């Protein structure tokens, strides 16, 4: 008889979940809006209903893994801080879900869960050491070291987005200046593109946005770059330059070679990969130059549910590799 686990990814907009066989096969997938506006009880009821709808009687349910966008306490029981899921802040999530579901529940930060997902079933399957970097509205990340998650002493490791790459640089959403996130996120790409067209640069973004520059986003800049728009290509060159500094700093610090790019802006990796590799080669020791590999996430926005399922599985039994 097959064993099963459930992997859940709680984000600010959607709760996603899936039932997995212990062999890693995804059996069934569901999602719901998070609806943070309805408050804690409603969010929790939604979450519990979604999990229950995934339970199966075909085999033994082992456990449930949950990735959540925010900072957990070190024993991974309480969500301490979560700007995008405010109603769940300070909620004793592990205890509440244990009681409601009568199954073992394991929590992890969402970027860490995504790194575990890529390790289990994605671009990191064959790698002992890598950093997953998610380029979205913000920039997040998760480390796999020695084949396992390195979550740090508070479980918040991997915050490459808030690495300062330019002293007294651009103001970041976090309140600091010069963070990588302010230079290389989807938000930064959008800002650079809007600034360029507003200051009169000649770019096909003007047509693509039909003159409404507020509709320009990272994906539109990606499309324009694919069509050869010089302004858009230059924007990717700029973001890649700072991302290369971040990646090189990690290589100089930890001497790891593999970097997996996830998040919305990873779609555009083929546009900026060569800029990235060129700049990285300038920034790292000779011995690392030819070894650094930058690849796209294979699981995309499902990395989190895979990783949560893997966490659930390896927390109750040795994982199938």
Cβ 85 vs Cβ 70: under 8 Å: yes
Give the residue with the Cβ less far from its own copies, 31 or 289.
289
Q: Nearer Cβ to its own copies, position 97 or 133?
A: 133
The residue range among 34-42, 117-125, 285-293, 295-303 that interacts with its own copies, by the rule CB under 8 A, is 285-293
In DSSP notation, 276-316 reads HHHHHHHHS-HHHHTT-EEEE-SSGGGHHHHHHHHHHHHHH
For its own copies, give the closer residue by CB, 59 or 83: 83
In this structure, which long-range contacts are made by residues 28-34, counting pairs with CB atoms below 8 Å and at least 24 apart in sequence?
28/54, 28/56, 29/305, 30/54, 34/10, 34/85
Other beta carbons less than 10 A from residue 75's beta carbon? 9
> Interface with its own copies includes 293 (CB under 8 A)?
no
102: left (phi over 0), alpha (psi -120 to 50) or beta: left
Cα gap 319→106, rounded to integer Å: 15
Q: Which stretch binds its own copies (CB under 8 A): 34-42, 150-158, 207-215, 264-272?
A: 150-158
Contact between 167 and its own copies by CB under 8 A: the answer reads: yes
Cβ neighbourhood burial of 149 (10 Å; 0-12, 13-18, 19+): buried
| Nearest CA-CA partner of 72 in 113, 121, 15 | 113
- Name the segment binding its own copies (CB under 8 A); options: 187-195, 260-268, 287-295, 300-308: 287-295
Kind and range of the H or E element at 24?
none
188 binds its own copies (CB under 8 A): no
Min dist CB 26 to its own copies, Å, is 30
Nearest-approach distance from CB 121 to its own copies, in angstroms = 23
Contact pick of 27, 44, 48, 71 for its own copies (by CB under 8 A): 71
**238: helix, strand or coil:** helix
Q: Of the candidates 151, 186, 260, 269, which one interacts with its own copies according to CB under 8 A?
A: 151
**Per CB under 8 A, does 257 bind its own copies?**
yes
Instruction: Find the binder of its own copies among 115, 245, 269, 313 (CB under 8 A).
Output: 245
Q: Which of 46, 56, 90, 129 binds its own copies (CB under 8 A)?
A: 129
Q: Under rule CB under 8 A, how many of the chain's residues touch its own copies?
A: 43
Alpha-carbon distances of 220 from 71, 189, 229, rounded to whole Å? 32, 10, 11
Judged by CB under 8 A, which of 33, 37, 99, 255 binds its own copies? Answer: 255
Q: Does 319 bind its own copies (CB under 8 A)?
A: no
Does residue 75 belong to the site contacting its own copies (CB under 8 A)? no
Chain residues in the site for its own copies (CB under 8 A): 71, 80-81, 129, 143, 145, 150-160, 162-167, 169, 176, 242, 245, 248-250, 252-257, 282-283, 285-288, 291
């Amino acid at each position: 008889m097959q064993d099963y686990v459930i992997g859940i990814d709680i984000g600010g907009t959607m709760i996603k979940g899936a039932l997995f066989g212990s062999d890693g096969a995804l059996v069934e997938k569901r999602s719901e809006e998070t609806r943070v506006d309805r408050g804690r009880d409603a969010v929790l009821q939604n979450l519990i209903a979604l999990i229950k709808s995934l339970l199966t009687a075909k085999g033994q349910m082992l456990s449930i893994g949950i990735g959540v966008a925010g900072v957990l306490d070190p024993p991974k029981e309480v969500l301490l801080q979560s700007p995008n899921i405010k109603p769940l802040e300070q909620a004793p999530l592990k205890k509440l879900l244990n009681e409601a579901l009568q199954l073992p529940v394991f929590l992890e930060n969402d970027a860490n869960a995504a790194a575990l997902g890529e390790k289990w079933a994605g671009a990191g399957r064959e790698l002992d050491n890598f950093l997953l970097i998610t380029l979205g509205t913000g920039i997040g990340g998760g480390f796999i070291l020695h084949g396992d998650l390195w979550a740090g002493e508070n479980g918040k490791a991997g915050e490459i987005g808030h690495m300062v790459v330019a002293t007294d640089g651009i103001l970041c959403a976090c309140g600091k200046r010069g963070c990588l996130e302010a230079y290389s996120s989807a938000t930064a790409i959008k800002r650079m593109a809007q600034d360029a067209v507003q200051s009169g640069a000649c770019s096909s973004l003007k047509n693509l946005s039909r003159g409404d520059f507020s509709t320009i986003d990272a994906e539109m800049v990606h499309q324009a770059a694919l069509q050869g728009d010089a302004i858009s290509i230059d924007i990717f060159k700029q973001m890649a330059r700072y991302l290369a500094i971040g990646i090189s700093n990690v290589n100089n610090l930890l001497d790891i070679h593999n970097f997996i790019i996830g998040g919305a802006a990873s779609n555009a990796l083929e546009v900026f990969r060569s800029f990235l590799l060129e700049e990285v080669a300038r920034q790292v020791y000779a011995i690392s130059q030819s070894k650094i590999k930058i690849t796209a996430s294979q699981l995309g926005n499902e990395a989190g549910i895979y990783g949560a399922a893997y966490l659930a599985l390896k927390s109750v039994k040795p994982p199938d590799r």
